[in-house]
Amino acid sequence: MGKRCRPGLRIVLRIVLLGMLLLGALVAVPVEEARAQAKGTVTLYTSESLDKVNEMKLDFEKRNPGVTLNIYRSGTQVVISKLQAEFQAGGTLADMIWMADIDYFEDLARKDLLAAYTPPEADRVPAKFKYDGGRYHEVRLIFNTGAYNTLRVKTRPTSWKDLTDQQFKGKVGVASPFYSGAAFSTLGTQVNMSGFGWEFYRKLKENGVIVEQSNGTVAKKLATGEFSVVSVVDFMVGEAKAAGSPVDHIWPKEGAILVPTPVGILKGAKNPEGARAFLRYLYSSEGQRLFAQQGYVPVLPGIEGPKGVPSEKLEVVLTDQAYIGKHREELKAKYRELFELK
């Protein structure tokens, strides 16, 4: 297995927006020969935001003439269900997958269903972001964090536990862990955090929390003022704020949840060269700069990060993947029972 940080450990990431962890000038990597081999259609199954993936598609196709990226997009759990059904039927149409459920990638790697490939562009990326010998990769970082409507809330909250404050009763929004991989990672991590556990979620329910399907819906309702405070992925807050919406981040003192969103190439891919070309693009300086423009934190050293992320230090909680892997079905069952979901 590739090196990974201990899950569940609260750490301080120093984001020098962002070398990220290393300094150095960008090194050009010759890829013309590899590009010449890539052609045809690459099919990607993903839970990433469609508008942002489409921006990546257009830029990738412009830089790789002859390659077309075909995208199937839905929530993480829906994508997994589609993949499972296709595997059971004899094979999937996907060449690549990219979504917020690292446990599923670990399972595919154990079953030898992911192809190992580490692009030369990834040489300077920290090893902990290249999992299991390069079978799947973290190509940029996102966080699940808090956010608030600045018209409805005059004093910025500072803690996850502020979402249980009665002043926000009936005005708290979260995404469903049955649809959003980021929400599921947050659930599995927080219930095993000291001072949180299921008691935190019971208090959320008592405070009238509203469970929406997606982070996108949560972000939109925060912007309109239907919600006062929410748990949501960080880049959506920055995006809404940049568009003029009265919203801002809450970077909780206990730590924002670092949400793994790996990308990998499936063994038996119909277009392996095209898939490798897309992974090279995601790691390239051009791809990483586009990530930063979209509000994500790049993993490639030397790329300046997005606005809105604390420039000196950011308190981060790593996803507790070991706990999630052991208790996946229990987490689903308890959450469904607590929130009376069908």
What distance in Å separates the CA atoms of residue 328 and residue 324, rounded to the nearest whole number?
A: 5
Kindly provide the residue ranges of all beta strands, DSSP E only, lying in 53-160, ordered along the sequence.
67-73, 96-98, 114-115, 130-131, 136-137, 140-149
Q: Tell me the per-residue pLDDT of 124-171, one tens digit each, with 9 for 90 and over.
A: 998 889 999 999 999 999 999 999 999 999 999 999 999 999 999 999
Q: Which residue in 266, 221, 22, 268 sits closest to 128, CA to CA?
A: 22
Pick the more confident residue, 82 or 101. 82
Per the CB < 8 A criterion, the answer to whether 183 and 257 are in contact is no
Q: Which of 40-44, 61-65, 98-102 has the lowest mean pLDDT?
A: 98-102
Q: Tell me what pLDDT residue 16 has.
A: 35
Q: Tell me the per-residue pLDDT of 24-35, one tens digit each, with 9 for 90 and over.
A: 333 344 444 444
Task: List Cβ neighbours of 146 (8 Å cut-off, separation of 6 or more).
Answer: 157, 160, 162, 163, 229, 230, 231, 232, 249, 250, 251, 252
Q: Tell me what pLDDT residue 37 has.
A: 75
